[in-house]
Amino acid sequence: MKLAKVLFEKDGRIGRITLNRPEVMNAIDDDLPRELAAAVARADSDPSVHVMVLSGAGKAFCSGYDLAHYAEGNGPNKAVQNMPWDPMQDFQFMWSNTQSFMSLFRAMKPVICKVHGFAVAGGSDIALCADLTIMGDTALIGYMPTRVWGCPTTAMWVHRLGPEKAKRMMFTGDRITGVEAAEMGLVLKSVPDDQLDDQVEALAARVATVPINQLAMQKMVINSAVEEKINQTQRLATVFDGITRHSPEGLNFKARVEEVGWKQAVKERDDGTFNWTTNSPFDENG
């Protein structure tokens, strides 16, 4: 596959994978997930690559799904169907994307994810599928669509945080800084923004000195302890993700996006100023 929206470069023992839609903050479209999986497969099959480093081009790691396409565009698309909708058609599309993101988790070789700017919504799905995630102190991570129009299909929040802290994030849709994410145990660590590149490179260089078979065995053993539970949870999450987009509130959100644009609708969603059940702003009594 010729890659354009995800770049792959071999740098000695390091395979560098870069999300490459910087003009839209590396937003996820129909092509990016499968290109990501193809890049991971290339690195995993290369006998000279010991470790992968995943990053995003431009100002941020990933802004999530491309709402200008999926929500703002008129008419049905792979994420929003005309009613009545076909749940299995939706599941097939989103499950394919989820498995593409999970190629990071299932690869035999370790994957280090570097998060600068932000990794939000579907972008957090990608970042949290990596084996080791390092954030800049001011970078933001969160899954705001839990407020309306989304359920994180990879279900990595509960895997990394446990139920109570995952609920704190999913019930609010809040974004937190790299510092908060590290303190919570969501990511490996957070470092000053100007040290992010150096810290990731140092870790990648250290891992790259280990033989590939040793790395693969350790990753397989650790993953085996959790992957069955993750797979079960992902199936439910992927079904629910489709329901969120085709529920009354989800359809009202899409209609609002078409009316005022996705930036305004997302602001209303994240600020909690719009009642998606009644499809109107909250009044003074809520």
Query: What's the pLDDT tens digit per position in 186-239?
Result: 999 999 999 999 999 999 999 999 999 999 999 999 999 999 899 999 999 999
Flag whether 106 is in a domain.
Answer: yes
Q: Which residues does 72 contact at the CB level (< 8 Å), separation at least 6?
A: 257, 258, 261, 262
Flag whether 212 is in a domain.
Answer: yes
Burial of 130 (0-12, 13-18, 19+ CB in 10 A): buried
DSSP sequence for 174-237: -EEEHHHHHHHTSSSEEE-GGGHHHHHHHHHHHHTTS-HHHHHHHHHHHHHTTHHHHHHHHHHH
Main-chain phi, psi angles of 181, to 5 degrees: -65, -40
CA neighbor of 33 nearest in space, from 95, 107, 87, 106: 95
What CATH number is associated with residue 163?
Answer: 3.90.226.10
Residue 10 pLDDT grade (very low, low, confident, very high; cuts 50, 70, 90): very high
pLDDT averaged over every residue in the chain: 94
Flag whether 1 is in a domain.
Answer: no
CA-CA-CA-CA torsion sign (230, 232, 236, 242): positive
The amino acid that residue 146 corresponds to is T
Main-chain phi, psi angles of 278, to 5 degrees: -95, -5
pLDDT score of 52 more than 70: yes
**Helix axis angle, 262-271 relative to 248-260, nearest 10°?**
130
Residue 85 pLDDT grade (very low, low, confident, very high; cuts 50, 70, 90): confident
pLDDT score of 75 more than 70: no
Total-model pTM: 0.94
Structure tokens at 111: 């994957």
Flag whether 25 is in a domain.
Answer: yes
Flag whether 260 is in a domain.
Answer: yes
Flag whether 137 is in a domain.
Answer: yes
Flag whether 73 is in a domain.
Answer: yes
* Residue that has been written with the tokens 């802290």 in this structure: 165
Flag whether 161 is in a domain.
Answer: yes
Residue scoring higher pLDDT (246 or 85): 246
The amino acid that residue 142 corresponds to is G
Distances in Å between the Cα of 29 and the Cα atoms of 36, 214, 243, 283 are: 12, 35, 20, 36
- Round the CA-based radius of gyration of the chain to a whole number and report it: 19
The count of structural domains within the chain is 1
pLDDT of residue 70: 82
Instruction: Please write the tens of the pLDDT for every residue from 92-102.
Output: 999 999 999 99
160 in Cβ contact with 127 (< 8 Å):
no
Residue 2 pLDDT grade (very low, low, confident, very high; cuts 50, 70, 90): confident
pLDDT of residue 73: 66
Residue 78 pLDDT grade (very low, low, confident, very high; cuts 50, 70, 90): low
Which range marks the domain in which residue 105 is found? 6-281
Residue 283 pLDDT grade (very low, low, confident, very high; cuts 50, 70, 90): confident
Give the mean model confidence (pLDDT) for residues 123-146.
98
What whole-number distance in Å separates Cα of residue 270 and Cα of residue 279? 15
Residue 190 pairs in a beta bridge with: 135
